C-alpha cells in the first residue's frame, strides 16, 4: 500500500504547489527532487539530470522551435492575417466560420507534426490574434486551438503513435493509417459543435454583416492570399510525403518557406525576424523547461512504484470486459493528469496490452482509443500540457481559467466520439484492414 | 545588492537576445542536410548532429531570463487574485522553487559535465565530436537560473521594480 | 543472511521478449539465493534513457543495469569492441567464447573499473538483419546507396561507399517507406517484422554484417557489488550466463519463424557469400583500429579478437 501512499502524496503536493502560482516546470521539478530524497535516497537525484541530457538532444522535440518560428514569421509578416481576412470574406457569415477554419488549419498542422507542443504553440501564435481581433469569445477560440492542436497525436506522423506501435508490437504503418479516419471524425465533430454553438449564441462568434454581400469578384481576388500559406504547407507536407525529409527536417523546410513567403510578399524585415526568434525562444524554453521538470517527475513516480497500485487494480479487476476497458480508459485519463503521453505509454501499454488481448479486443483498435484518451488527458483541466503550452503564448489579460472553460465542451465531444468508436470498432479498423488486404 | 540583481538580469537578457538567433542556425543546418542528402545523395554526418547539439543550449539559456519576464507557465487562478503580503509570499515561494530546481540541477550536472570533459567523451557517431560543451550548458544554465531567482527575491523584498 | 534488494533498469520495452528474459534473470537470482537477493526490474527508459544508465548506476540511482556498451564507446573506446563489431565474429558462440575463453571478460571488467562500475557478465546473441528497398547481393552493391547506421557501423559503412544518415530509430520505418534512405539497420528479425518493415522494404539481407553478433552487459555499481556476499555474486554470474544462452536460443527459433513470415509477406531474403564478407572483414580492420583510438584496453580487446578470428580461420 506504500505505492498508493506515494501516488496520493505526489498528486496532492502537485495540486497544492501548482495552485500557489509557481512556474510549473519548477513545481514538477521540486516535487520530483523532494520525493526522490525522501523515498528513494539522495543518490537517485542524478536521474533527473540524466533525463535532461536526453531531452537536450531529442530530434523530435526540435520540431517545437522550428514550427513556432515558422508560425511566428508567417504571423509577423501579416500573411496569416491576410488568410483570416480571406476566410472572413468567404465564411464571414457562417456561424463560427473562423474557428472552424482554425480547426481545419489544425488538422493540416496535425499532418505535419505529431509533437503537440509544436502544433498548439504554433496555432496559438497563428490563429488566436486573428480570432480575438474579430471579437471571438476567448474560451471558444482557445478550446478550438487546444482540441485541434492535439489532433497531431492521432493523425500521422506522430511520435506517440510510433512509441505505442513499438511497445504494443504492431506495425507502425497500420497504426498510422488507423489514426486518419478517427482524426478526421474528431475534427468534423469539433467543427459541427462550433457551428451549432455559434448559431445558438452568435455573441461568442460574431458574424460580420459587412461580409454578407461581398461580390464574387472580390471573394475570388481574396483567394490569392491563400497562395503563400499554401506554398508553405505544401513545402512541409511535400517534403515529408515525397520522402525528402523527416518530420523535424520538414519543419526546417517550413521555416525557409515562411521566410521566402514573407520576402515575396515584400514584408520581410530583420526586425520581424528578430521578434520571431525571441518568440520562438520564449515558447521553446517554456515548453522544454516544463519537459525537464515533467521527466524528473515521471521517473521518480515510476521508480518508486507510484503507479503500481493503479495498474495492479486493473490487473486484478474481475469484471466484464467492458468494465475493464472503461477502467483502463479512466486510468489513462487519471495518469494523464500528471504524466506526459510517452510516460503513459511506457508505463501502461505493457500492463494493459496483455489484458486487452486476453479480453479479445483488437490492439490496433485499442491503440486508437489510447491516442484519443491521450488527447483527452492533454486537455483535461487542471493539469494538461496543451493548456499550459497555450497559456504560454496568450496575451496577459487572458488567464488560464478561460482556457479551462474553453476546453470542457471539446473534452465532452472526445468522450462521445470515444464511446462511438468503442461501440462501432469498424470505424477504426476498416481502413487499416483494407490496406493490409491489398498488401497480400 | 539591488545593483547585483540588475546586473544578473542584464546578463541573462543579453544571453537571451544572443541565443535566440541560434534557431536560424539550427534550421539552416537541417535544411542543408535535406538538400545534400536529397539532391546530392551526400548526407553529412555533422549537420544533423550539430543541430541537435545546439538545441539543448538554445532552450536552456532562454530559461533564466524567462523567469524574469514571467514566461514560465503557471496556474494563476489563485495568485492573480492575491494581494499584498499573500501575493509577496506566493511570489517568493515560486522563486524559491526555481532556486531549488536550479540548485539540484547544478549539483548533479556539474560532475557529469566535468567527467565528460575528463573522458574526452565523444558521441561515437560518424562525425564523433566531443560533447562536453553541450553537457556543460546544463550546469551553466542552472547557475544562471539560481542567480536570476536570487535577483528576483532581492528585488521583491526591496520593494522596487527593476527595469526590463 | 541479510536480505538485499536492488533495482535494475534493462534495455528493452516492457512486455517484449528480451525483457521477459530480464525478468527471468531477476527471478533466477532470487531462487538461487533462497529469496535473499531480490532485483526489481524496470524496462528501458522507464527511469532514465538507456544511453544514460551508465551515469545513473555510477551515481547510485539504481544498483544494476543491463546496458549496451556501444552507448558509452564515446567515453570508453574499448566499449566498441565489447558490444558489437561490424564484420566481427559471425557466430554468437564465437563472440561468447572470446568473453569466457580468450580474456574478453577480464578486459570488459578492466574497462568499467575506473568508473566505479563492475562488469558482471554479457548476454550474447546473433545478427541483426539489414532491410533494403533495392537488391544488395554483394558488399560492392552498397556503394552509392543511402543507408541508416549509427555508431561504429556508420563509419565502417561510409568506408564502403554508403552515404550514411544517422536517423533516429523511430524514423526508420517512415524513412524507408518514403524512400529517404535505401537501406537500414534497426533491431532483430522479430522486432523488425513487428514494426512492419516488410511493408516498406522488399529485401532482407543476411548476415547483418554491420552487426553480426551483439553483446549486452550486466553492470553493477561497484560500491553496492562489494557489499554482496560470495553467494549473491555467484548467483548474478550464473543467472547471467544462463540467460545469455536461453535468450540466444529463443532468438534463433524466433528468427526462423519470423524470416518465414517475411518471405510470406513477399520479402526476398538475400544471403551474402561468406567469402565476400571475409574479404570485407580485412578491409574493416582499418576502421577497427581507428575506433580503438590508441586506448590500451581497446587495443587489447581488438588484438585478442583478431587473434581468435585468425584461429577460427576468419582473418
Ligand atoms: Na501528426
Ligand atoms: Na490532463
Q: Which residue has the higher pLDDT, A140 or A177?
A: A140
In tens, the pLDDT along B37-53 reads 888 888 888 999 999 99
Q: Percent of chain C having pLDDT more than 90? A: 79
Looking at residue A338, its pLDDT comes to 66
Determine phi and psi for C273, rounding to 5 degrees.
-70, 135
Per-residue pLDDT of C6-58, as tens digits, reads 999 999 888 788 999 999 999 999 999 999 999 999 988 888 888 899 999 99
Q: B37, C163: Cβ pair inside 8 Å?
A: yes
The count of domains in chain B is: 1
**Mean pLDDT for all residues in chain C:** 93
Residue A421 and residue A416: Cα distance in Å, rounded? 9
Torsion angles phi and psi, residue B24, rounded to 5: -65, -35
* Residue A158, domain member (yes or no): yes
Arithmetic mean of pLDDT, A381-394 = 83
Of the two residues C278 and A19, the one the predictor is more confident about is C278
Contact residues, chain C, for B41 at CB < 8 Å: 144, 146, 163
Share of chain A above pLDDT 70, in %: 96
Residues 116-135, chain B, touching A (beta carbon < 8 A): 134-135
Q: A55 CA distance to ligand 1 centroid (A)? A: 20
| pLDDT, greater one: B39 or A256 | A256
User: How much is the CA Rg of chain C, to the nearest whole Å?
Assistant: 19
pLDDT category, B118, cuts 50, 70, 90?
Answer: very high
Arithmetic mean of pLDDT, A25-40: 86
Task: Identify the residue with better confidence: A340 or C181.
Answer: C181
In this predicted structure, the answer to whether residue C184 has a pLDDT above a threshold of 90 is yes
**Confidence at residue A163, expressed as pLDDT on a 0 to 100 scale:** 78
Q: Which of A46, A56, A244 sits opposite B108 (nearest CB)?
A: A46
**What domain range is B98 assigned to?**
2-158
In a domain, B164, yes or no: no
- Taking only the tens place, the pLDDT of each residue in A282-308 is 999 998 998 898 888 888 877 777 667
| Residue B162 banded pLDDT, cuts 50, 70, 90 | very low
Residue of chain A with shortest Cα separation from B74: A23
pLDDT at C88 over 90: yes
Give the CA diameter of chain B.
65
Residue A296 domain flag: no
Q: Are A199 and A95 in contact (CB under 8 A)?
A: yes
Residue A310 is assigned to a structural domain of this protein:
yes
Helix (H, G, I), strand (E, B), or coil: what is residue C183?
strand
Given a cut of 60, whether residue C101 has pLDDT beyond it is: yes
Residue A131: alpha-carbon gap to chain centroid: 20
Range of the domain at A155: 58-268+305-439
pLDDT for res C246: 97
Nearest Cα to Cα of residue A131 among A167, A174, A73, A85: A85
- Residue B56 located in a structural domain: yes
User: Is residue A216 predicted with pLDDT exceeding 50?
Assistant: yes
- Cα–Cα distance list, A9 to A13, A35, A47, A297 (Å): 6, 9, 20, 13
In a domain, B29, yes or no: yes
Would the pLDDT of C203 be above 90? yes
Task: For chain C, give the number of residues.
Answer: 315
Q: Do A21 and B78 touch (CB under 8 A)?
A: yes
* pLDDT value at residue A104: 92
Helix (H, G, I), strand (E, B) or coil at C268: strand
Most confident of A23-27, A206-210, B159-163: A23-27
Strands C37-42 and C203-206: what pairing? unpaired
Minimal Cα distance from A389: which residue of B?
B73
C-alpha–C-alpha distance, residues C165 and A430, integer Å: 36
Nearest by CB: A169 against C7, C56, C194: C194
For residues A366-388, average pLDDT: 86
- Total domains in chain A come to 1
Interface check A29 vs B, CB under 8 A = yes
Asked, for residue A49, whether it belongs to a domain, the answer is no
pLDDT band of residue B164 (cuts 50, 70, 90) is very low
Give the pLDDT score at B93.
92
Q: How many residues does chain B have?
A: 164
Determine, yes or no, domain membership for B134.
yes
A430 falls within a domain = yes
Which ipTM did the prediction report?
Answer: 0.90
pLDDT over threshold 50, residue A439: no
* Separation of first and last alpha carbons in chain C: 50
Residue B89 lies in a domain: yes
CB contact residues (below 8 A), chain B span 112-141, against chain C: 112, 115-116, 119, 121-126, 128, 131
Classify residue A24: in a domain, yes or no: no
Q: Give tens-digit pLDDT for C55-75.
A: 999 999 999 999 999 889 988
Q: What is the pTM of this model?
A: 0.90
Amino acid at each position: 500500500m506504500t505505492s498508493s501512499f506515494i501516488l496520493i502524496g505526489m498528486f496532492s503536493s502537485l495540486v497544492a504547489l501548482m495552485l500557489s502560482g509557481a512556474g510549473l516546470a519548477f513545481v514538477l521539478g521540486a516535487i520530483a527532487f523532494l520525493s526522490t530524497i525522501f523515498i528513494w535516497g539522495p543518490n537517485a537525484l542524478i536521474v533527473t539530470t540524466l533525463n535532461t541530457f536526453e531531452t537536450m538532444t531529442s530530434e523530435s522535440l526540435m520540431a517545437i522551435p522550428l514550427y513556432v518560428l515558422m508560425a511566428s514569421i508567417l504571423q509577423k509578416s501579416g500573411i496569416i492575417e491576410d488568410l483570416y481576412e480571406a476566410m472572413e470574406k468567404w465564411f464571414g457569415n457562417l456561424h463560427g466560420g473562423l474557428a472552424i477554419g482554425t480547426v481545419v488549419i489544425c488538422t493540416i498542422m496535425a499532418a505535419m507534426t505529431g509533437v503537440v507542443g509544436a502544433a498548439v504553440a504554433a496555432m496559438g501564435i497563428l490563429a488566436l490574434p486573428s480570432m480575438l481581433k474579430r471579437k471571438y469569445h476567448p474560451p471558444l477560440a482557445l478550446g478550438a486551438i487546444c482540441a485541434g492542436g492535439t489532433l497531431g497525436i492521432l493523425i500521422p506522423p506522430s511520435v506517440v503513435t510510433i512509441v505505442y506501435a513499438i511497445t504494443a508490437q504492431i506495425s507502425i504503418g497500420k497504426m498510422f493509417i488507423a489514426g486518419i479516419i478517427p482524426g478526421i471524425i474528431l475534427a468534423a465533430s469539433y467543427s459541427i459543435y462550433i457551428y451549432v454553438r455559434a448559431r445558438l449564441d452568435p455573441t461568442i462568434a460574431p458574424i460580420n454583416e459587412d461580409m454578407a454581400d461581398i461580390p464574387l469578384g472580390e471573394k475570388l481576388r481574396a483567394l490569392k492570399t491563400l497562395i503563400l500559406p499554401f506554398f508553405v504547407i505544401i513545402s512541409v507536407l511535400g517534403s515529408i510525403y515525397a520522402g525528402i525529409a523527416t518530420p523535424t527536417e520538414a519543419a526546417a523546410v517550413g521555416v525557409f518557406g515562411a521566410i521566402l513567403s514573407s520576402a515575396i510578399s515584400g514584408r520581410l524585415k530583420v526586425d520581424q525576424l528578430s521578434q520571431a526568434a525571441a518568440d520562438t525562444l520564449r515558447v521553446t524554453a517554456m515548453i522544454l523547461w516544463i519537459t525537464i521538470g515533467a521527466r524528473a517527475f515521471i521517473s521518480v513516480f515510476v521508480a518508486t512504484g507510484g503507479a503500481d497500485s493503479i495498474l495492479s487494480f486493473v490487473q486484478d479487476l474481475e469484471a466484464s470486459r467492458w468494465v475493464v476497458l472503461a477502467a483502463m480508459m479512466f486510468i489513462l485519463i487519471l495518469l494523464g493528469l500528471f504524466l506526459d503521453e510517452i510516460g503513459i505509454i511506457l508505463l501502461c501499454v505493457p500492463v494493459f496490452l496483455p489484458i486487452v488481448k486476453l479480453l479479445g479486443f483488437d490492439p490496433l483498435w485499442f491503440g486508437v482509443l489510447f491516442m484519443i484518451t491521450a488527447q483527452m488527458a492533454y486537455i483535461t483541466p487542471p493539469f494538461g500540457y496543451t493548456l499550459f503550452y497555450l497559456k504560454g503564448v496568450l496575451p496577459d489579460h487572458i488567464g488560464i481559467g478561460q482556457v479551462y472553460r474553453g476546453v470542457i465542451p471539446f473534452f465532452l465531444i472526445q468522450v462521445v466520439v470515444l464511446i462511438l468508436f468503442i461501440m462501432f470498432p469498424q470505424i477504426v479498423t476498416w481502413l487499416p484492414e483494407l490496406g493490409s488486404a491489398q498488401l497480400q | 545588492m539591488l545593483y547585483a540583481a540588475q546586473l544578473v538580469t542584464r546578463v541573462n537578457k543579453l544571453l537571451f537576445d544572443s541565443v535566440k538567433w541560434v534557431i536560424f542556425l539550427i534550421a539552416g543546418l537541417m535544411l542543408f542536410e535535406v538538400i545534400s542528402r536529397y539532391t546530392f545523395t551526400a548526407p553529412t554526418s555533422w549537420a544533423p548532429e550539430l543541430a541537435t547539439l545546439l538545441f539543448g543550449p538554445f532552450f536552456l539559456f532562454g530559461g533564466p531570463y524567462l523567469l524574469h519576464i514571467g514566461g514560465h507557465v503557471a496556474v494563476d487562478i489563485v495568485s492573480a487574485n492575491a494581494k499584498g503580503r499573500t501575493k509577496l509570499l506566493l511570489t517568493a515561494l515560486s522563486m524559491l522553487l526555481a532556486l531549488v530546481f536550479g540548485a539540484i540541477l547544478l549539483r548533479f550536472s556539474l560532475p557529469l559535465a566535468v567527467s565528460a570533459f575528463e573522458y574526452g567523451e565523444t558521441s561515437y557517431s560518424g562525425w564523433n565530436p566531443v560533447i562536453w560543451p553541450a553537457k556543460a550548458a546544463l550546469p551553466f544554465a542552472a547557475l544562471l537560473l539560481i542567480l536570476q531567482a536570487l535577483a528576483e527575491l532581492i528585488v521583491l523584498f526591496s520593494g522596487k521594480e527593476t527595469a526590463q | 543472511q541479510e536480505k538485499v534488494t536492488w533495482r535494475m533498469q534493462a534495455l528493452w520495452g516492457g512486455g517484449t521478449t528480451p525483457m521477459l528474459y530480464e525478468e527471468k534473470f531477476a527471478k533466477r537470482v532470487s531462487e538461487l539465493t533462497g529469496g535473499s537477493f531480490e532485483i526489481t526490474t524496470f524496462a528501458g527508459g522507464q527511469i532514465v534513457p538507456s544511453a544514460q544508465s551508465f551515469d545513473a548506476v555510477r551515481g547510485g540511482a539504481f544498483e544494476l543495469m543491463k546496458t549496451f556498451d556501444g552507448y558509452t564507446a564515446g567515453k570508453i573506446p574499448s566499449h566498441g569492441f565489447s558490444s558489437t563489431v561490424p564484420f566481427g565474429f559471425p557466430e554468437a558462440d564465437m563472440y561468447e567464447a572470446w568473453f569466457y575463453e580468450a580474456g574478453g571478460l577480464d578486459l570488459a571488467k578492466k574497462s568499467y573499473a575506473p568508473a566505479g562500475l563492475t562488469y558482471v557478465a554479457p548476454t550474447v546473441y546473433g545478427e541483426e538483419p539489414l532491410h533494403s528497398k533495392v537488391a544488395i547481393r554483394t558488399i560492392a552493391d552498397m556503394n552509392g546507396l543511402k543507408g541508416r547506421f549509427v555508431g561504429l557501423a556508420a563509419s565502417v559503412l561510409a568506408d564502403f561507399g554508403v552515404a550514411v544518415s544517422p536517423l533516429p530509430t523511430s524514423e526508420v520505418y517512415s524513412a524507408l517507406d518514403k524512400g529517404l534512405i535505401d537501406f537500414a539497420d534497426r533491431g532483430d528479425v522479430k522486432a523488425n517484422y513487428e514494426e512492419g518493415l516488410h511493408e516498406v522494404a522488399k529485401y532482407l539481407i543476411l548476415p547483418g554484417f554491420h552487426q553480426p553478433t551483439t553483446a549486452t552487459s550486466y553492470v553493477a555499481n561497484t560500491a553496492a557489488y562489494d557489499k554482496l556476499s560470495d553467494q549473491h555474486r555467484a548467483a548474478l554470474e550464473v543467472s547471467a550466463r544462463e540467460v545469455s544462452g536461453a535468450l540466444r536460443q529463443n532468438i534463433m527459433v524466433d528468427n526462423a519463424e519470423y524470416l518465414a513470415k517475411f518471405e510470406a509477406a513477399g520479402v526476398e531474403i538475400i544471403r551474402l557469400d561468406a567469402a565476400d564478407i571475409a574479404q570485407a572483414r580485412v578491409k574493416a580492420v582499418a576502421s577497427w583500429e581507428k575506433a580503438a583510438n590508441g586506448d590500451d584496453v581497446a587495443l587489447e580487446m581488438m588484438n585478442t579478437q583478431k587473434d581468435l578470428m585468425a584461429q577460427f580461420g576468419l582473418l
